[in-house]
Structure 1
């Protein structure tokens, strides 16, 4: 039996963040990863053609770049950006472009409606006034006391109430209140659809506003050399502090005695003892139902898990393109990210198909021009390109269904970039099943660890609870994107779990901490 202060289950970026913070506190840490490599959904590889590097799952990291969690780790990373942040291409050929130069963004959205340029600047000024405390509020455990207090002091009670109202608007409603033309609203709406929310859903506006304003402030940076550099930096930092990662070691059970997590057992029968904490970077259903088991859980928690909702499935295609993209509208040429395939009403129709478990016949695409953002991704004059779109969350997809949808995706790209298909020299397709095979946490191709809908956020994530990393099992903490504040590469769930573990461990204060947490869990779930 191997013994350490903490066992971290899963070497995704959240698990690695938690492991690093615990190692910083002087703890001995062992990370157990089910697959042969670290990183989870933050990885790169050569999967299309020689010399073309692809970011396999996630890419473009505005939240990661701005995250106080990752900044606090002082990772050895070099960031780079595309000339333009984002372009939304409309079916009629027009384009709205976001650039870190606010004057250029203003010029683009002004073409859609007189005055929208100034309205965009006003929206950005509003963001700059709250960006710091807003990120603190979003990325810290619930309730966000410090960040919330900073926001209240900065805004005052009346403006804070107005901000609270803005945070629950749909992105269509928010856009209609802020702007007069479709261009600026589409910049927000396309960003909101990085989640599984439709333009009509409550709370969608905050996602669109957050990502668009981060893009205006910082751009959407990428690590020079690919997403893998984030993972490599986290792994190197952990190893330098004495942490250990064991690969191909899937955990099948959290070992519990007297209601306390004592360690884990892997699928091959090995036992790892945790003297202080078990931290799990796995989805909530897997943690509670598979690794813990109903015996150790309040009945009401198990009942609530039946209502846990995944975010949508994802199909992702990477292409190696021998030329730069032949865009009909040159506005897209300099953007790292391009949204295409729908105007605002089209986004609503696309989302409605997903909501009714239908395959969208005209998919909305998020497309990344990685070489435009980081020239090291492929040879000069070429493009390492990816695109993804959503499908309904299902248990199984037939290969011919995926192939047909990839054809639809390529048709959308071809319509905006005639001749694109003829320039493709290599292609890789990840179906929802492929994503889960590569990273077991991407269940059914869900990228966010659960829906971003308002009914599964804050103290409702992953189920109605305390909105914290603590679980009803003493010294077991959830560090995955199923926990507050959810998906995205920012490290907050991992940091929150590490801080909760450290707080629980502090002698007399730790006993008081656990007493408070137990009282909260009994209030929510009753007794186990």
Structure 2
């Protein structure tokens, strides 16, 4: 069965299904696949002409240079039990080195999947840090499986939490709990003596919108760094699009349908129960059992549902919802390999550059005070190094992104000036880079939102990763689950627990909640009681 694309004169065989899913991002597609596996009929409504959301690839710089348009490296996706259990038709590959952080003084710290090589790198910054890194990695390996299960399952994470407690014992579990609320600077100072190992974690933490000083940042840095040590940071052979293609193909094989160019305008509600979706074109899609929304929380509650159907306290809490930072991303087609001043970066799929630890703090402080950083910290991906088919032999398909404050509007000349800063930073670390650029593509925050409406203002994470908007507080104070106060309506986007990243957990959690609504006696009564406890009524 093929997808049904909405064009003039097209007719559709199905406008009623067990589940109507809003959004064909990877979370929406994960939810659709899991419901189809359970025997439900599924229709996915996608606002744009193509599926995938932020998991897409394209030739946007020069012929023969493939770029991942938004997300790129997938350590969480590779390790995710959600995606693993879907048995997607994917081939993964990885770069020789996982990550290199280049310091302004010319030094470099590198994670390699061979722990001995990582140890050698961080040892250069402080005697004993190599062994300390191995100890941190051993700690991770002891808890990695139950930790991922805890992170990627609905809140409260009973099964994963019990597994963690069994693995650690009560005293070490308390020590881990303390570690998880530390800032990445504090965690690094407790684990290591030198700057290199701490920088590797701190740069990883800044994949979110958390500064090196913020509580809870340490867990992100530790998680991504240790996943890199364990698995590398894999990419799908042939580009990020392959993940989307695999999810779409699997859904088709199960009888699911996708309707493109069909932006949702309203969730249809009767007596407090979601019964379908109306598109901007005025077409109604009826849902027998569930509506699942892979859209940001403000869009779901304020635009698609409306205040009439919501507790007043929920609407008040949404006024305090906080986005993560805006993003500017540039892709380049480079005629040669990158001319790195420090050859340590040559074999790394991901390169962090532009700041040492104090520089990361200054960069984050500028963002926190609504200022444009003069010296941007940048994440750079060497895609041909990670996957040789991304560009012609001897060349490199490169991208880099950095953050800006989250604003409603950016002038084109402001974006152009910041792209100049970005290119100047790369040129500083790789002299001669600009002379080898054959083509480039710039995505401003507005461009990102145009390409994917869920990337509001260029925010990649569906909302801040700060502790006040995580777990049972995500997206707002509640029970931290996919269930909403509207019966049979579920949130599947990165605005829901556990948040951003391409791991499929929000979509899986929404699908499981929809199934539990019909399989578990008294399930909805429990959810209603929880919502009354939070919102009153």
Q: TM-score range by the shorter chain?
A: over 0.9
- Matched with 1:386 is 399
Corresponding position: 1:280 with 2:293? yes
Corresponding position: 1:27 with 2:37? no
What SS does structure 1 have at the residue aligned with 2:502?
coil
Deviation at 1:2, TM superposition (A): 1.4
What SS does structure 1 have at the residue aligned with 2:110?
strand
The 5 Å alignment of 1:39-188 reads 39-188=52-201
- Matched with 1:521 is 531
- Matched with 1:294 is 307
| TM-score of the two chains, using structure 2 as the length reference | 0.97
Corresponding position: 1:366 with 2:376? no
> Runs of 4+ in structure 1 displaced over 3 angstroms?
none
Q: Deviations over 1:156-178 (max 9, x none)?
A: 00000000000000000000000
- Matched with 1:16 is 29
Q: Deviations over 1:460-481 (max 9, x none)?
A: 0000000000000000000000
Root-mean-square deviation (CA, aligned residues, Å) is 0.5
> Pick from 225, 239, 242: which aligns with 2:238?
225
Q: Deviations over 1:216-272 (max 9, x none)?
A: 000000000000000000000000000000000000000000000000100010000
Corresponding position: 1:248 with 2:258? no
- Matched with 2:427 is 414
- Matched with 1:334 is 347
1:29 & 1:505 partners in 2: Cα distance? 16
2:493 & 2:32 partners in 1: Cα distance? 13
| TM-score of the two chains, using structure 1 as the length reference | 0.99
Deviation at 1:388, TM superposition (A): 0.1
> Pick from 457, 465, 468: which aligns with 1:452?
465
1:45 & 1:379 partners in 2: Cα distance? 15
Deviation at 1:377, TM superposition (A): 0.5
Deviation at 1:327, TM superposition (A): 0.2
What SS does structure 2 have at the residue aligned with 1:5?
strand
- Matched with 2:209 is 196
Report the number of matched residues. 524
What SS does structure 2 have at the residue aligned with 1:418?
coil
1:3 & 1:185 partners in 2: Cα distance? 53
What SS does structure 1 have at the residue aligned with 2:265?
strand
1:4 & 1:152 partners in 2: Cα distance? 42
What SS does structure 1 have at the residue aligned with 2:228?
helix
Deviation at 1:505, TM superposition (A): 1.8
Deviation at 1:140, TM superposition (A): 0.3
What SS does structure 2 have at the residue aligned with 1:41?
coil
1:430 & 1:409 partners in 2: Cα distance? 13
1:105 & 1:445 partners in 2: Cα distance? 33
